[in-house]
Amino acid sequence: MQRLAMDLRMLSRELSLYLEHQVRIGFFGSGVGLSLILGFSFAYACYYMSSIAKKPQLVTGGESFSRFLQDHCPVVTETYYPTVWCWESRGQTLLRPFITSKPPVKYRNELIKTADGGQISLDWFDDDNSKCYMDASTRPTVLLLPGLTGTSKESYILHMIHLSEELGYRCVVFNNRGVAGENLLTPRTYCCANTEDLETVIQHVHSLYPSAPFLAAGVSMGGMLLLNYLGKMGPKTPLKAAATFSVGWNTFACSESLEKPLNWLLFNYYLTTCLQSSINKHRHMFVKQIDMDHVMKAKSIREFDKRFTSVMFGYRTIDDYYTDASPNRRLKSVGIPVLCLNSVDDVFSPSHAIPRETAKQNPNVALVLTSYGGHIGFLEGIWPRQSTYMDRVFKQFVQAMVEHGHELSSM
């Protein structure tokens, strides 16, 4: 990133000298257009360096956690340089699924039973070729939670696994019920307020490798679920640390933002159809308790949640469900180190709803807030195929907690 800044400054100087030369000799034919383009490029480079490329805001509830991150996860204090031709929130959000690569990952699938007779699909990356942790019983394990309709096939999940492989860690992806191709055995899916399935998965993974450092990372709705679990459990969890990315902190604010006309057109309606498609595969399981025809006519996530999710999980009203689903209410009760990366321009999670003051009251919490990055975007570099700022935060943080986490307890 420092190299990018130097390149931009050098480009600015070269453009300035070139323009001075052109003005001195005069413009003819296409030279005028070229000079205008170069002049615009120079102005844009200046604007980018002064207004777009910025250091993230680090909000922590304790000086010790802040020092720990500065020492062992320095990326959270470095300037974030969004992709120069795509830094706006919606552009970053829309582009990432199409432009980022999908590293090949070979999974081992496991289906585990739940107390209500259902099943959960786990996709394991065992990393048996790990050179750093050859003993599987002590190999660090990272539990990954995808977003709203996401699975282990999402590009951001694949990148996290690729980075974990570089560190020699094992990963396991928690696929929510009914979304990864497995049969739905009971009339129940998932929501970010109900943590029972996540509790089952965490206890199962920990029982398999009780001596291995155990961490978790959740993206978007997966992060909301993870934070609600941590707020419920406090320090009584086998997890050593956790990270979340692009979490929606206040469900009411998220819904209101996504219902603005442009956001509804670009994101809300599409995600609603994805939710409808995921449950329509198992339609026969729900017809006795839910009016599925009414659900399939929903035009927004709020309407879907009102007609399906809140009914399935026994909430009296959609407001009751959204109140229970908002992780900002439980942040004060989190009892292990948690790093939360959000962009303040994320239309899924408005800046005003980010719980800065609550975070300052919990020494286990650190918010990393970038000015740009969108929702699960965080693209950087001229052609952001391989890595994002979010990926670098993930890798540095999990490595810091595995290798230096003991320092936090001694600070």
Q: Are residues 100 and 155 in contact, defined by beta-carbon separation less than 8 angstroms?
A: yes
Residue 91 to residue 225: CA distance in whole angstroms? 26
State the Cα angle at 403 between 336 and 227, rounded to 5°. 25
How far from each other are the two terminal CA atoms of the chain, in whole angstroms?
31
Look up residue 381 and give its DSSP letter: S
Rg, Å, the chain Cα set: 23
Q: Are residues 77 and 70 in contact, defined by beta-carbon separation less than 8 angstroms?
A: yes
- Of 392, 391, 387, the residue nearest 99 (C-alpha): 387
Considering Cα of 98, then 99, then 103, then 104, what sign does the dihedral take? positive
State the Cα angle at 16 between 13 and 19, rounded to 5°. 150
Catalytic residue IDs: 220, 346, 375
State the Cα angle at 59 between 345 and 385, rounded to 5°. 45
CA 382: distance to chain centroid?
22
In the block, residue with structure tokens 């933002």: 257
Residue 66 to residue 69: CA distance in whole angstroms? 5
Cβ-in-10-Å burial (0-12, 13-18, 19+) of 317 comes to exposed
